[in-house]
Amino acid sequence: MFPTISIIKDPKQGISTATLFEKTEQISHAGLSENEKEFLSKKLKKGTECSFLKYPELSFFGKIKAAEAYLEQEAARKAGAKLYQELKDAHITAVNLVNRHNSPLLSAFLEGLLLASYSFDKYLKEKETFQLKEVFVVGEEVSDKDAEELLNLTSAVFAARDLVNEPNSFLNAVQLSNELESLGEKAGFAIEVFNKQKIETLKMGGLLAVNKGSIDPPTFNILEWKPENAVNKKPIVLVGKGIVFDTGGLSLKPTANSMDYMKTDMAGAAVIATAIYVMALNKLPLHVVGLIAATDNRPDGNAYVPGDIITMFDGTTVEVLNTDAEGRLTLGDALSYAKKYDPQLVIDYATLTGAADIVAGPHAAVVMGNSSENIEKLKEAGFQTYERLIEVPLWEEYAKPLKSKIADLNNLGSREGQSTIAGKFLEHFTSYNWIHIDSAGTPFLKEADAYRPAGGTGFGTRLLYQFLKSMI
């Protein structure tokens, strides 16, 4: 699937070369004729990347303008994605990567190149045939270890994209558990799957209520990466929303631009599973546990209904006012279960509210919680990976709409401030350092955007990995 990456001192002769630079004079020694330099200068006035083909070689130049470091890194990723498309269009399978820019950008350039190579053709009669086979990274800016780490991270992002792209006709809750077990076998982390009988024994009322309308049983998945050299005495727990398809239940969603994309409602599960996957592949010395409550949400004759009162795993009673506010019910059970680990920190990741999509769109996720220092570290990781976060407060006023006259809570609250109200609902089930990420607008794109393809984006895997790596 991925090309061989070699670190070399000088560009390989006779193959295509891609060059990053900041000023035009930095490419004066790139072996171009005067006519080629003139052609390049004219093209660069119209854009930041250009290429021209001298058969069988492609000369690609990406001009990265001086800016803040994280913006330069993102510009390099986008240049890498542009290069991949150029190579694919010309059917060129080997390339040199050269950096003439004053800043270290080759790793980001390589990252964009790799991330852009994704395709989901499982259900297509005509499969993708182009394969980039060799990448030669010129210089000592990227090490062999860096390249291996980046390949593993790209593999994790692709796994997250695959999971989000899979339809519910394949990926029900049981199959999701099978896929997670496969990831565990490949990377070496442990996984335990609770079946419906075990979930009933535990009295996970939120998960069981949402599952009542499904003909498929729910699962509760515990993923664990616990290396012997872990630097943390208490585990970090990651909780992912695992609604494999969300019709809204009896509070039925409209189809256009709503229900038709609800195979993506398990993107939180995909993100936390693949973050643990790449941690295990790269052997990060950090003890991490993942919790995923999985089911679909359908309007069957036995489905839970508005007005029902359910009892959650921790004993909290909840009045159901809207069956489409189901994610917070399954997450509430998982967050309560997390207490048994006496965690150092818990992060839940979910496509939870349309309000978060309105706030951030596809460009960022919304973050809130009670651990300010870790939120700041997460936001910094967001800039480093360009999977950014917008923080909103968890003021007590947002809890008032969740009061019920006949139960401890209701599951809806008011329309205004809904992303924060959902966060306040989840907060009720926490008693530890906790962060909530609502990524409703990020997991799926209708049209490709640079190295993020149309379909599943894998947004969040790189973010969590960067954050967890910073804790070592």
Which positions are annotated as active-site residues?
253, 328
Distance between CA atoms of 338 and 348, rounded to whole angstroms?
11
Q: Give every CB contact of residue 263 below 8 A, 6+ residues apart in sequence.
A: 164, 165, 166, 167, 168, 171, 244, 245
| Three-class secondary structure of residue 463 per DSSP | helix
Burial (Cβ within 10 Å: 0-12, 13-18, ≥19) of residue 64: buried
Amino acid identity for residue 35 in this structure = N
Q: Give every CB contact of residue 410 below 8 A, 6+ residues apart in sequence.
A: 318, 319, 320, 321, 402, 403, 404
Do residues 219 and 194 lie in contact, with contact meaning Cβ atoms separated by under 8 Å? yes
Nearest to 189 by CA among 238, 145, 146, 233: 238
Do residues 421 and 413 lie in contact, with contact meaning Cβ atoms separated by under 8 Å? yes
Map 254-285 to HEC letters: CCCCCHHHHHHHHHHHHHHHHHHHHHHHCCCC
Do residues 303 and 213 lie in contact, with contact meaning Cβ atoms separated by under 8 Å? yes
Nearest to 137 by CA among 268, 246, 305, 17: 17
Burial (Cβ within 10 Å: 0-12, 13-18, ≥19) of residue 120: middle
Enter the tokens of residue 318: 């909840």
Distance between CA atoms of 12 and 463, rounded to whole angstroms?
34
Do residues 425 and 404 lie in contact, with contact meaning Cβ atoms separated by under 8 Å? no
